[in-house]
A and B are shown apart, each in its own frame.
Chain A
Amino acid sequence: MYGKGLRPLSIATCLTLTAAFALVFFYAPLDADQGFIQKIFYVHVPMAIVALGGFVAGAIMAVQHLRTGDRRWDLRSYVAIHLSLVLGVGVLVTGAIWAKAAWGHWWVWDEPTLVSFLIVFLLYATYQPLRFSIEDPERQARYASVFAVTAGAFVPLNFLAVRLAEQLTHPRVLGATGGSMPGEFRFTFLVALAGMVLLFVTLWKYEMASKHATAQLRSLRRKLGGEEALIPAGRSAAPSAGLPARPTAD
């Protein structure tokens, strides 16, 4: 059911990302100040926005899980947070490269957006260990959702506190004033952002489809060969795809 529409979505993602890179290299003008290195901006910033959006989406899905008790929401929340963590590594790496080129240091502490992102990343890095250390799958899902909701609310508050603490070196991209970007930069940036959003959604659907297929395969195996035919699933931080690992009487 998650496989539906995956092919057109993948094609759209490939096209948008290709268009974004073409625009970055052939259309967007060179930055007067930083030159070529500024182009990393079109990867770094959309990735950061999508990663933070993914964390918040994970929190909203976790709220749905807590409200409805439907374990599929927990799986959706898990996949969103897990993908955002992967993107988060990319954000920190590209951010460090850009900081080295633009400001001369790999890491700049008086730079609120980078520091806030690191704090949020460190917080979410405990999501998987937390899940892994709870054995009961039902409790694991519930506790992980509580964590996801708390952490999701923490994201904006943390950005506020860190921003107040430091002076601004980091450029504001889409400020309330509409940003200071000229038209070509802005258009390229928006295409790159759309490409990154599509990439996130595609990867999310792929992982959901894969988890769903694995769970269906297990249940079919069990129907055919009984409990003995199943290789026992190891303890995992990942939730099972909404189907119980073994039939439960409840």
Chain B
Amino acid sequence: MSTWGALVRKELLLEIRARESVPAMALFSVTTYVVFHFGLDRSSLDGDLASGVLWVTLLFAAMLGVNRLFVADREQGGFDGFLLAPVDRSALLLAKAASLFAYLVAVELVAIPAFAFLLLGPSPAQLLPELVGILLLANAGIAVIGTLASALAIQTTARDLIAPLVALPLLIPVVIAGARATTPLMLESGAEAVPAKWAAVLGLYDLVFALLAYAVFDFLLED
């Protein structure tokens, strides 16, 4: 637990001091809304279109964070330092996933209000509190898959290409479940109940891939 805590602290401290990921991800999401505004030629969105735009934007913004996740460890010897320390290897997976989760929450704190302000037709008040729950479930899945894909890609010669190519198909179930779950919240006629099955799919997805990542992550560090 203390190893994990120290690693998370290191990650967050690095991010607060260097600000490499979160500001870029937040800026990217706002820019993407502008792109969607012109691409779709609509001044306000509701229902499934709004939900789709939000999830695609969040997913692509997450890819920026995923690409950066292990760069400092590789280029500045973080991996060597970690491997020399007599600690459980899984702590790194847990710490990286937790940091990515924290980055995603931070990005959403900017991206969701910006979405409500720039594109969303219906009142943002009707999104709460269900949207928060769905986002947290989806963030957990994105964090686990993102960490795994990033660790897979970091040692390759084409890492910026490999990470999104691996992560995007793996995250399609998250987009399906997330977009379907939040569509009823964004209806022009007022929010409707979120179908429970989509929250269940997200939960199942998180559980399966968390266990899987825990089982295979060690093999990505053995050097």
Contact = CB atoms under 8 A, between A and B. Distances in A.
Interface in A119-173: 119-120, 122-123, 126, 129-130, 133-135, 139, 142-143, 145-147, 149-151, 153-154, 157-158, 160-162, 164-165
Nearest to A65: B219
A215 interface: no
Contacts of B170: 123, 150-151, 154
Given A146-B216, A146-B219, A147-B166, A157 B152 contact: no
B166 to A, nearest CB: 5
B144 to A, nearest CB: 10
Q: At the interface, is chain A mostly helix, strand, loop or mixed?
A: helix
Contacts of B209: 150, 153
Interface in B168-191: 169-170, 172-173, 176-177, 180
Interface stretch (B23-31, B89-97, B155-163): B155-163
A9 interface: no
A83 interface: no
B109 interface: no
Given A150-B212, A161-B205, A164-B197, A145 B169 contact: no
A126 B152 CA distance: 12
- The interface centre, meaning the residue of B172, B204, B220 with most chain A CB atoms within 10 A of its CB, is B172
B219 A130 contact: no
Contacts of B219: 66, 142, 145-146
B152 A161 contact: no
B216 A161 contact: no
Interface in B55-77: none
- The interface centre, meaning the residue of B170, B180, B204, B213 with most chain A CB atoms within 10 A of its CB, is B170
Contact of B155 (A134, A158, A165): A134
B177 A161 contact: yes
B201 interface: yes
B165 interface: yes
* Chain B interface size range: 20 to 34
B41 interface: no
Contacts of A135: 157
Contacts of A158: 172-173
Contacts of A151: 170
Given A126-B166, A164-B197, A153 B208 contact: yes
A203 to B, nearest CB: 25
B129 to A, nearest CB: 24
B212 A129 contact: no
A145 B157 CA distance: 18
A148 B43 CA distance: 44
A51 to B, nearest CB: 16
Contact of B176 (A142, A149, A165): A165
A129 B176 contact: no
A163 to B, nearest CB: 10
A143 B165 contact: no
Contact of B205 (A66, A119, A123, A157): A157
Interface of B: 148, 152-153, 155-159, 161-162, 165-166, 169-170, 172-173, 176-177, 180, 197, 201, 204-205, 208-209, 212-213, 215-216, 219-220, 222-223
Closest 10 CB pairs of A and B: A161-B173, A123-B169, A133-B156, A133-B158, A126-B165, A133-B157, A146-B216, A122-B169, A165-B176, A161-B176
9 contacts: A126-B166, A129-B162, A133-B158, A135-B157, A149-B212, A150-B216, A157-B208, A161-B176, A161-B177
